[in-house]
Amino acid sequence: MRKIWTYGISNFDVIAQPVGRWPNAGELVVTDKTEFMPGGPAINTAITLRKIGFDQVGLVARFGDDRAGSLLKQELERAGVESNSVSISQTSPTAVCIVCVHPDGERSFLYSFGGNNELSPENADVSRVDENDFFHLGAAMGMAKSRAELIVPLLKNLKQKKVMVSVDTSFDPFGEWWPSLSPCLPFTDVLFSNESEAKYLTGNDDPIKAAEIFHESGAKTVVLKLGSEGAYVLSENWQGIVSPFKVDAIDTTGAGDSFCGGFLYGLDKKWPLEQTTLFANAVGALCVTSFGATTGIKTYRETCDFIAKQDRIDHWQW
C-alpha cells in the first residue's frame, strides 16, 4: 500500500483568538480563547490526510528533547501519523509558533524555528520511503538546512525510486526566493504555491504567468492556491481555475496545508485534476470553519456531503 510522507516545518502551536491588535510594549491585550495544538505545514498536511481517511501517513521532522516535542509525538500518535522518522535534537528546542487570529479570520505569527533549522537530508530518516510512495515537502525551503542546493540530492534519489515528489512553497525568511527553489523544480511532480509566494519567487504578479514560469522550469504540475478565488492548475493534461466553496471563515490557519492534503488524496485516487482540485478546495474550505489548523477537517464521506450540498458533485465518480 502506498504511503504519503510529509517532510518539513513542524511545530507546536499556541493559538489565541480573537486578537484585535498587537499589544504595545508594556501593554496587555485580552483574548477569549487560547489553545495548544500541533502545527506547521508538514504536520498539518499529514493530519489532514489521516482525518480524510488516508491510511498510511508518516512524518519526517526534527523536534527538541523537551515537553513540546513530547506533546507533539502524543498528538501524532493520537492522529495516527507515524512518527518513527522524527529525529530528536539535543541542541535545539521544538519549534513553537504563536498564532494570533484576528476577528476576520486572518492571522499574525511569532515563530521560533528550533529543531526545524537542523532538519537536513543528512539527518532525515527517509529509509522507510518505498518505491511509488508520495513525498511531500511542507515549506521545506524555509528551513536553514533544506535549501535547494542541500535537498536536490535527496530529491534525485527519491525520483530514482519512482517516488512522487510534491513541494509546497512558503515565505522565505532568508530572502533568497527563486534560488532556494528553482533547482528542485526538475524533480518536482507537483508544486503548490500561493499568489504572494509565487510573485516573490517568479517576480510576476500574474498567477497564470507565474505558473507558466514554474512549469517551464521543470515542475510537471503547478497548483496555485488563490484563496477566495479558488485554485489554478497548470499541467500537460489539464489547466484551469476551479472556483472555491462558500463558508463562513473563522480561522484560516492551515487552510493551504489542508488543501495540499486534499489534493494528494485525489492524486492517490487517480482522479482527473479538476476533480482533485475541487476536492482540495472543499477540504480547505472546511478547514477554515473551525478554530485551529486541522480541527475543521472532515472525513472523506463528510467532505463529499459538503460538496454535494453546494451542488458541486458534477459528473465525476466519487
> Is 182:147 a contact under the CB 8 Å cutoff?
no
Backbone angles phi, psi at 113, to 5 degrees: -65, -30
Torsion sign across C-alpha atoms 225, 228, 230, 232: negative
pLDDT score, position 231: 98
Please give the model's pTM, rounded to 2 decimal places.
Answer: 0.94
pLDDT score, position 244: 97
**Would the pLDDT of 141 be above 80?**
no
Burial of 15 (0-12, 13-18, 19+ CB in 10 A): buried
| Section 245-274 average pLDDT | 95
**Would the pLDDT of 105 be above 80?**
no
Total Cβ atoms within 10 A of residue 6: 34
* Torsion on CA atoms 284, 54, 43, 17, rounded to nearest 10: 40
Q: What is the pLDDT confidence band of residue 109, given thresholds at 50, 70 and 90?
A: confident
> Is 236:20 a contact under the CB 8 Å cutoff?
no
C-alpha cell at 26: 508594556
pLDDT score, position 159: 96
Best CA proximity match to 303, nearest among 18, 52, 121, 19: 52
pLDDT score, position 206: 96
pLDDT score, position 149: 82
